[in-house]
Amino acid sequence: MTVPPVDGLVDGPSDATADTAVQVRGLIRSFGTTRAVDGLDLDVHCREVLALLGPNGAGKTTTVEVCEGFLRPDAGTVRVLGRDPATESRALRPRVGVMPQGGGAYPGVRAAEMLGLVAACAARPLPVDWLLDVLGLTAVSRVPYKRLSGGQQQRLALACALVGRPELVFLDEPTAGMDPQARRLVWDLVRALRADGVSVLFTTHLMDEAEALADQVVIIDRGRVLAAGSPAELTTGGAEQQLRFGARPGLDLSRLVAALPENCLVSEPQPGSYLVEGGVDPQLVATVTAWCAQQGVLAEDLRIARRSLEDVFLDLTGRELRS
Amino acid sequence: MTSRFAPGTFSPAPGRGRLPRMLLMQARTEFTLTLRNGEQLLLTMLIPLGLLVGLTLLDVVPVGQPRIDHVTPRILALAVMSTAFTGQAIALGFDRRYGVLKRLAATALPRWSLVAARMLSVLGVVIVQLMVLGAVAAALGWRPDPAGLAPAGLLLLAGTAAFGALGVLLGGTLRAEVVLALANTVWLLLLVAGGIVLSVETLPGPLAVLAAALPSGALAEGLTAALVNGAGSWGALAVLLAWATAAGLLAARTLRLS
């Protein structure tokens, strides 16, 4: 699918040479007595995708709304494309695409009318019909917004965020309420945006989404950063690697423990499922398989597992459900 | 993995749309939505039309003779109140609920145009109402004093501004359901006791004083003076402009996007 090329950038990116699209330092924002964001730092590098990952109520939307200029920070500094979103929104609006949580449209407006209105606010918008088609909204383009499904409303909101050909987009829970196909489409869109040089900050509470799309992941909870880095950085780290294998339950592990380096932990978390944690390298694998041979057991399903981002996330934010 | 999007599809090319086009698009969208909304049409068209015909043909409330000449200015005041105040407050309350103000505030539209375009749309609806109600009234024998047309135009503009500002004040601050209830209650109160259906002088003492100072009473009495007697009514105009200014300033401070 292609769209007509852009001719003659008149008031295009001015300071895209700066390598940070969004910089947040020491951000604090409270609502009444509740501190929603509590000393948060993050950087979205230009032409990169940052996932702000956290459980419900972690402060994701507050952070994004401060960056969008909808909320003023109580303390800290925020720079978006080198400007202060609270005071320079007029200069920033045309350059930034925003997908608010839960969308946003007149209840009675038709999808095509709404996208047309948002497109009219941009100098060189993407073609409205093309964008509706890409997002699978052509068939419902004349349906009033309030009669669209949640996923369709989300897709329209995404279209509104992209139609103005922004340099930077904020997507707040872009895949909430979407079916798997639509989710896949959003993933493809985010990848295409990145490939075309658009910087993206999106929020999610879905680990696989952050892992699949983001160059940088910032895990937050209770308004604070718990961990930040690339998905690989967050999920590896020698001590966090694991080797798992299956064998008959109840094997005597003492000789294996003796054969392995001191910093390794060996356990049988479930009967018949064994776990070796720490410094997984070729020598360790050889030691484990040699021990299996001595025991006369065939190690099944032997695999070296990195921690998934989900493990990291749950370790950091706790495993209990919160209201 | 190959992308379903050709490289360069989303290459940044940001820029602000042309202001007049943005404003007109927003106003046109809201104008269209109002005319498409059945409940709004009931409020802005059917009730004023019903009252115009009913009050002219049936002798239920005391009005001067010929009845049509005295009823029409009051119905025009009602039409302005219905559209600029009640209809707009309710629409704004629900638009905020559906996140449209935040959505539009995130575009290149300047902040003031969020309200300016709404006013433009309201003015458009008022003009349609005036044409329809004026045509029906003319068919019923309405003959306004030509000398009063210009003052009436001014009063209608000032009335739209006053009721519009009050509509934004109400619809821009409270929850949608509360807005719905309040806007309809106030509409009914002003219709009956605010100098619209019953002229200010037929209301009991203190209520008459109050009604004359309300935008409803000022607009209805001002329009009557203009269209029946051809007289300019500066007092009524001043009352409307005062309401427009006060409510407008307050609304600008209290408008919430969501």
Give A236's pLDDT tier (boundaries 50, 70, 90): low
The enclosing H or E element of B124 equals helix B111-139
Give me the pLDDT at residue B87, please: 95
* A123 vs B contacts (CB less than 8 Å): 13-17
Beta carbons within 10 angstroms of residue A284's beta carbon: 19
Q: What's the pLDDT tens digit per position in A105-120?
A: 999 999 999 999 999 9
Q: What's the pLDDT tens digit per position in A63-88?
A: 999 999 999 999 999 999 999 999 99
* A107 vs B contacts (CB less than 8 Å): 94-95, 97-98
Segment of A117-126, A255-264, B198-207 carrying the highest mean pLDDT: A117-126
Give me the pLDDT at residue A18, please: 63
* A105 vs B contacts (CB less than 8 Å): 98-100, 103
Give A15's pLDDT tier (boundaries 50, 70, 90): very low
Interface test with A, best of B35, B92, B100, B256 (most A CBs within 10 A): B100
Determine the residue type at A194. R
pLDDT tens, N- to C-terminus, chain B (258 residues): 457 889 999 999 999 999 999 999 999 999 999 999 988 899 999 999 999 999 999 988 888 888 999 999 999 999 999 999 999 999 999 999 999 999 999 999 988 888 899 999 999 999 999 999 999 999 999 999 999 999 999 999 999 999 999 999 999 999 999 999 999 999 999 999 898 988 888 888 888 999 999 999 999 999 999 999 998 889 999 999 999 999 999 998 899 988
DSSP assigned state of A322: -
Residues 6+ apart with CB under 8 A from B31: B120, B121, B124, B125
User: What is the average per-residue pLDDT within A212-234?
Assistant: 91
Average pLDDT, chain A: 88
Give me the pLDDT at residue A240, please: 54
User: Is it true that the peptide bond before A269 is cis, omega within 30 degrees of 0?
Assistant: no
Q: Is B217 within 8 Å of B194 (Cβ atoms)?
A: yes
Task: Look up the pTM and report it.
Answer: 0.84
Can you give the residue ranges of every domain in chain B? Answer: 20-54+65-254
CA atoms of A20 and B249, how far apart (whole Å) = 39
Give A208's pLDDT tier (boundaries 50, 70, 90): confident
Give me the pLDDT at residue A323, please: 47
Give A9's pLDDT tier (boundaries 50, 70, 90): very low
A102, A124, A193: residue with CB nearest B99: A102
* B109 vs A contacts (CB less than 8 Å): 93, 121
Residue A282 scores a pLDDT above 90: no
Residues 6+ apart with CB under 8 A from A17: none
Number of alpha carbons in the 13 Å side-chain half-sphere of residue A187: 17
A155 touches chain B (CB under 8 A): no
A146 vs A309, which has greater pLDDT? Answer: A146
Determine the residue type at A4. P
B256 touches chain A (CB under 8 A): no
* A81 vs B contacts (CB less than 8 Å): none
Interface test with B, best of A65, A93, A191 (most B CBs within 10 A): A93
Instruction: Please tell me the distance in Å from A11's CA to the nearest CA on chain B.
Output: 6
